[in-house]
Structure 1
Amino acid sequence: MTLSVQIKGIKDGLLITLGEGDWGEVQEALLAHIAERASFFQGARVALEVGNRILNAADLGGLRDKLSDRGVILWAVLSNSPKTENTAQVLGLATRLSIPRPERVKPVDTNLPGEPTVLVARTLRSGFRIAYAGHVTVIGDVNPGAEIVAGGSVVVWGKLRGVVHAGAEGDEKAVVCALELVPTQLRIAGHIAVTPQRKGKSNPEIVRVVNGQIVAETWNQK
């Protein structure tokens, strides 16, 4: 049996989802995975999703100590079991993830026409999340595991390889632009695509909703 350990970047650190299997074996698989990528996990804050498992204080406390020995902080346990959830709370662990809503920004009076926009001049690495009510512009790459949620459009002056949601409050006129578009997942308003329809290869692209479908086209920057 193959033991499944899935890792995803979230606002508060990393979300690790443990697949089915014996608790001891799954735990060892997780620790082995962390050991293989020790530099990546060093100092990481981890939320652990354990499914329907019923775990006691010794199970969770023991894993927390082992993770701590490896420089990893266990701060939350997500479970479908009320007993496991109660045990996590007794140990001082959170049992819910915080999901911040995009901040609503009041328009600023100006002589120039425009809309609220945030500029991020850096590469967004795994675990980094931006949530903003207006447009988002990134000068740099968006790596796998990073996420952008924007009420308006998203422009990436670099490689877009993470998760992006433009028009998050329902704006189907929002677009996503990138110099290289290879997202893990892309959404515009209520439409979703893992791999948008493409035209051309390795060219800057713009993605928009056309007739209810997400379509990628060559980005003409003129």
Structure 2
Amino acid sequence: MRRRRVFPDRRTAGLHLGAELRRRVWHDPLVLGLARGGVVVAHGVAEALGAPLDVAVARKIGAPGHPEFGVGAVTATGDATYAMRTLSALGISPGELVATRDAEQAEARRREEVYLRGRAPEPRAGRDVILVDDGLATGVTARAAASAIRAEGPRYLVFATPVGALDAVAGLKGDVDEVVCLLTPDELRAIGEWYADFTQTTDDEVIELLGPA
């Protein structure tokens, strides 16, 4: 029997997530969407909370020969975050990934410039920051983004997502103050399986959702 898809699209998932988050009291909230697909979900959250929306960029570091298999992640600044158990299982050291890390960090910087279009990022210090993505599979990208945001001094840091793997949700709790996840299926093979429409988000869509520069 074919399993029913839960969320029609990212936008609808963001509205559901926003309804859950709206039940809380927030202090000067800021919603950050992880580019690219997370920005669509975050837009619905920001709308529900009446909060400003901005973007966070983290890039996956792929395993040698298998770039689609993420073993780490990096933001535009700071150190990379690695899934150390995965590296150990594969017999890989972070030192072997320096070239990939540097390339992905450069791409993260480039994307930030594209999305921000010359404006300064929304300040994080002293605020309740809600970091949003369209799903949480391994958690390594979310961890990298959370680490960069934490360094900017938020009052309270939440990671929120419509769907996530149980082990990834548990593992992320040490990097943020709270994880809000609407759905944690027993088996999560791919985030896209939980959306009827999981079309790839484009840079132009991200720029449009972020609004005027």
Structure possessing the higher relative contact order (Cα contacts under 8 Å, 6 or more residues apart): 2
Q: TM-score, normalised by structure 1?
A: 0.29
Q: Which has the larger radius of gyration?
A: 1
Q: Which has the higher strand share?
A: 1
Q: TM-score, normalised by structure 2?
A: 0.30
